[in-house]
Amino acid sequence: MKPRALTFSDSELAVGVAGGDAAAESSLYEKYSERVLYLALSERHSREDAEDIRAETFLRVLQALREGKLRKPDSLPSFIVGIALNVMREHRRQRAGTDALTDREEEIAGGESPEAAFLDQEAARSIAEMAARLKPREQQFLRMYYYEELPKEEIARALGVREERLRLIKSRALKSFRAIYEKLKRG
Amino acid sequence: MIQNGPRPHYGLSMTHREAIDGEVAERYALGRLSPGERRAFQEHFFECGDCFARAQETSRFVAGVRHAARAGVLPARPAVAPTRRGWLRPAFAAAAFASVLLTAALGWLLFSQMPGLREDLARERQARAQAERDNQRRLSQANEALADERRQRESERARLESQLELLAQQRPPAGADGRPRAGAPPVVSQANTPLVILDAVRGARGGAHQLALGGGAAAATIWIEVGPGESFDGYRLQIFRGGRLVETVSGAKPNAYGAVAVTVPARLLRPGAYVVKLFGVKDKKPELVGEYDLSVRGAR
């Protein structure tokens, strides 16, 4: 059985919310809330700020839909992205006005690295288990590519492998990570 | 941040195929998209569940790898290998040339000299093993000879001990100094023991004293009077025949009659002329007390 949120098309959701349908509002949130949160996190906001941005975004989306401000119901995803980005811009301006932190890096709470918001306990464990299964050269590739952000050509030369091989290593590592992570999530 | 080359401009629209082929989810997670690409992909993953899942997973993966790298789980990269142009650099060229020479020398050693060296080594090992076997054999023979000698010595010792025991049974009881005690009674009781009394006059040389030994006499007693007032610890008597010492008796003490009495086995006193010397001993130093001529007759 498909999740309820997926039983509505974007147009149906837009029309339903505009008509005051509570089920449509719930489905709308269910379908897009994770995306809005991820969008905020990927724009380097802290998790706490991202939660605020998500709440504010949905408040405005629901209000706009009720007021009939969405002209093309099938462009609902783009409409939500636009509102979310506006909320983030306002949020950033407010933060810049209330404290001296203007650097985007410094907006991350606690001074933690931006990507730390994506890292949960299972992900950290999955990476450690995956790394243990890799050969030393494959481990070095991951470090050079994702951490040191070196160009593939330089990495291939340093490790003595062809660039096609790097793509394969990356694919295998990601696949291994996915399997372990899903297993840990299932418990 | 890595600068990527020119990429197609998506405007605000991106197809799923474009997202997959361009590895856009990974580039989004790594922050390597242009602002236009970034906005296009954001609108795309709001529509595309697959790309949204891919983007989330990649962001999680990148975060995890960076975290692992910082924690040391992922090892540091090795030194970057030299480029082709590096061969032309003098220092590197010299090192490379030295490596080539070393490799050639090792190859020559391995393929040209090694067989001969191995043969020498084998011969040396064989000779050493043979020498070791010879040494073992010699050692074994020496041990056997030693064991034979030890057995012979033990046998000889047993024989000597047996003889010693037999002699001990025949000897008179020993005194405190381990010597046969002077004046000790003979093992077998005997009548008419011969006796000679020597004059105890210091420095005097009278005629020879006569001692007649009967046919059955086993011993004879020499009786020498010593003057009163002598304060020796003891006396020593020596008997000479033809200038050769025949017997010495130590530890003698004056008896109740003021005389020193010494019993000598008759077998030592064959007929002939003897000289008897008496020494007084004080603080282990002997002092001549008297010297006497003795003539023995009729000994068996």
Q: What is the C-alpha separation between B180 and B174, in angstroms, rounded?
A: 4
Is B84 in the A-facing interface, judged by CB distances under 8 Å? no
Instruction: Compute the distance between CA of residue B198 and CA of residue A93 in angstroms, rounded to an integer.
Output: 150
Chain A, nearest residue to B45 by Cα:
A35
Q: Which of B47, B63, B81 sits opposite A158 (nearest CB)?
A: B81
Give mean pLDDT, residues B61-78.
85
CA nearest to B200, candidates B226, B166, B178, B182: B226
DSSP-derived letter for residue A106 is G
- Establish if B45 touches chain A: CB-CB under 8 angstroms: yes
Contact: B64, A144; criterion CB under 8 Å:
no
Estimate to the nearest angstrom the gap between the alpha carbon of B17 and the chain centroid. 87
β-pair type (B219-225, B195-198)? parallel
Q: According to the CATH classification, is domain A119-186 in 3.40.50.2300?
A: no
B171-to-B63, B131, B159, B250 alpha-carbon distances in Å: 112, 58, 19, 17
Give the helix/strand (H/E) hosting B182. none
Q: Which residues of chain A are within 8 Å of residue B16 when distances are taken between CB atoms?
A: none
**pLDDT of res. B177:** 54
Model confidence, pTM: 0.51
Closest residue in chain B to residue A114, using alpha carbons only: B63
- Domain B195-297 part of CATH 2.60.40.3350: yes
Average pLDDT over residues B229-255: 89
* Residue A10 Cα, gap to closest chain B Cα (Å): 9
Q: Which two tokens stand for residue B52?
A: 């949204």
Sorting pLDDT into bands at 50, 70 and 90, what band is B200? Answer: low
Q: What are the structural domain ranges in chain B? A: 16-71, 87-152, 195-297
* pLDDT of res. B3: 36
Cβ distance B59 to A177 less than 8 Å, yes or no, reads no
- Contact between chains at A38 and B56 (C-beta distance less than 8 A): yes
Q: What is the predicted pLDDT for the residue at B226?
A: 82
Two tokens, residue A96 = 């810049």
Contact check, Cβ <8 Å, A147/B30: no
Average pLDDT, chain B: 79
Q: Is pLDDT of B132 > 70?
A: yes
Residues 36-95 of A with CB under 8 A from B: 38-39, 41-42, 77-78, 80-81, 85
Calculate Rg over the CA atoms of chain B. Answer: 60
Contact A81, B48 (CB under 8 A): no
* Partner-chain contact A146 B83, CB within 8 Å: no
Q: How many angstroms separate the CA atoms of B133 and B27, rounded?
A: 77
ipTM value for the complex: 0.87
Asked if B184 contacts B173 with a C-beta cutoff of 8 angstroms, the reply is yes
pLDDT band, residue B180 (cuts 50/70/90): low
Mutate to test the interface with A, among B28, B41, B42 (most CBs of A within 10 A): B42
Query: Across the interface, do A148 and B47 touch by the CB < 8 Å criterion?
Result: no
Fold that domain A4-111 belongs to in CATH: Rna Polymerase Sigma Factor; Chain: A (1.10.1740)
Q: How far apart are CA A24 and CA B81, in angstroms?
A: 59
Distance of CA B182 to the CA centre of its chain: 51
- Partners of residue B2 in chain A, C-beta under 8 Å: 149, 151
How many angstroms separate the CA of residue B100 from the nearest CA in chain A?
Answer: 20
- Ramachandran angles phi, psi of A44, nearest 5°: 70, 35
Q: Domain limits of chain A?
A: 4-111, 119-186
pLDDT tens digits, chain A, 187 residues: what are they?
445 555 788 999 999 999 999 999 999 999 999 999 999 999 988 889 999 999 999 999 999 999 999 988 889 999 999 999 999 999 988 887 776 554 554 444 445 566 788 888 889 999 999 999 888 888 999 999 999 999 999 999 988 889 889 999 999 999 999 999 999 988 7
Give which of A33, A78, A134, A146 to mutate to test B binding, by max B Cβ within 10 Å: A146
Compute the nearest-CA separation of B105 from chain A (Å): 27
- The stretches of B13-113 forming alpha helices (DSSP H) are 16-21, 24-29, 35-47, 49-71, 90-108
Query: CB B59 to CB A38 under 8 A?
Result: yes
Scan for tokens 């340093």, then name that residue: A158
Residue A2: its pLDDT value, please? 46
Angle at A15 between CA A13 and CA A20, to 5 degrees: 90
Same fold, A4-111 and A119-186: no
CB contact under 8 A, B67 and A80: no
Q: Which stretches within A22-148 are classed as H helix?
A: 22-42, 47-66, 76-98, 121-133, 136-142
Nearest by CB to residue B74, choosing from A35, A139, A177, is A139
Strands (E), chain B: 195-198, 209-212, 219-225, 234-241, 244-252, 259-265, 272-282, 285-297
Question: What is the least distance, in Å, from the CA of A143 to any CA of chain B?
Answer: 6
